[in-house]
Chains A and B, each alone.
Chain A
Amino acid sequence: MDWRIGPVEYPGPNVSPGRNEPLRWLITFSSHFDRGGDLAKKPIGPIRRTFAPWEDPEKRPFIEFRNVTKRFGSFTAVDNLSQTIYEREFFALLGGSGCGKTTLMRMLAGFEQPTEGEIFLDGQNLAGVPPYRRPVNMMFQSYALFPHMSVEANIAFGLKQDGFPKADIADRVKEMLRLVKLEPFGKRKPHQLSGGQRQRVALARSLAKRPKVLLLDEPLAALDKKLREETQFELMDLQMDLGMTFLIVTHDQEEAMTVADRIAVMDAGRIIQVATPSEIYESPNSRYVADFIGDINLIESKVVAKNGETTRLRATELDIEFDVAQTTDADIGDAVAFGIRPEKITVTMDKPDADFSVHAEIWDIGYLGDVSTLHCRTEDGHNLRAGIANVTRLVERPLTWDDKIWMTWRKDAGVILRH
């Protein structure tokens, strides 16, 4: 199934671009993804950089988890997980709380031994290598700052262990303080800092040694949105400049989408899907991923027909039948879910001239500034969410509570989800 869709052409003014992709990347659009000269194929979403070593079978992975299982007593935290990560990659782990993200990182850093399986770094099996000999630095979720040392001493700690010359250490510490915007706080002790400042010290300390691999466990969770975005871009620049490999855990999808080359979505100790941010957003492989990443309407459906490149679905709970520009392994009559993002639903006041449309009533509007989410209820009581972009400040015919509206979508706007 080699089939792509994306928010490249917008079906109407009511559909916003993917909120999660900053527009500035749209310009970096390249034909890179149009492999095989098939002009019918469209790239999925904007492309950050032409970097995709995972598509190159010749390329040797830098980090490899091979059938790694970790059990705590009878509890399985990581379940037979295999994954490769490439040099210079920015790899993000997403997943619900307790799904094993930190455990995975701790095994790579050497604080936990896999119960089964092996971990390789640059071709070397890491079994038996103590943490202090691994070229891996970790930023701890709990920060783990040394309370009896000043901010500077915390940052310098790792450099001192490696016997850096004093002058170099001082320079590097200064550079790190500048990076995390903490220059005036170098002499303070951790307990004299705010939560977000501590987090930045932890980040600076893990970055100071410029390790080959940097493990960031929710590195920016305590920062305000603006500082977080700035730091994200700093991290990306740093990673590019220094050629480090980053493994980042985050609960913030926008962050993962912003910084990562690939995102892995984990659940219960397994990786459910690994893909680029736009792929994972636009073509999730399962209900879990679709639901986890961003907002999505899942419409229970049945396959009624398969004609070449398109599949016809009948929504079991809404009275509509519609085409989806996607092939599926499901047989005719199988139950599937049709996933459609709110921003890809076109909302009109008048019945649109389309193959199908859903009549519904607005019962709530979530105003987010840049976009609004319309919570709509169909005549038979099903909920659908639609997103509209607030492109003008004053609206001529504002949509409001209790308005009757019509919804429709293009046939390449949603995905068929079998699991």
Chain B
Amino acid sequence: MEEKTISRGGISLGDIPVWSWLVAALLLLAFFMIMSSSGGLLAPYIGQLAGATDYLHEFAHDGRHLLGVPCH
């Protein structure tokens, strides 16, 4: 019984299509944008946009505290 459930296959990592890796990367990026206080850290790379993410961070402020990520 146990043998059977173990040998059940499942897709291998190689079978996962490229698009789903891309989607995963995008979701991960969005996750970090909202969850980390990255405004300052990203400024050298995205310039003006960093100001917009700061704005978002202030809006999401209480959520970030309650979800447990460092904020202040």
Indicate, yes or no, whether A interacts with B.
no
